[in-house]
């Protein structure tokens, strides 16, 4: 079960990091275009 659960957790962490970096990039673009 752990062997199956590990990749799912890894994918979730990657998605979370992607969303966070997208938020920061969006905030930067919004702040830069003002």
**H/E stretch holding 28:** helix 2-33
Give CA–CA dist 31/2, Å, rounded: 43
User: What mean pLDDT value characterizes the chain?
Assistant: 85
Question: What is the pLDDT, as a whole number, of residue 30?
Answer: 87
Question: What is the pLDDT, as a whole number, of residue 13?
Answer: 94
CA pseudo-torsion sign 12, 14, 18, 23: positive
Question: DSSP 3-state assignment of 34?
Answer: coil
Residue 25 CA to its chain's centroid (Å):
11
Question: What is the pLDDT, as a whole number, of residue 23?
Answer: 92
């Amino acid at each position: 079960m752990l062997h199956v659960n590990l990749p799912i957790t890894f994918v979730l962490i990657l998605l979370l990091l992607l969303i966070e970096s997208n938020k920061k990039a969006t905030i930067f673009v919004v702040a830069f275009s003002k």
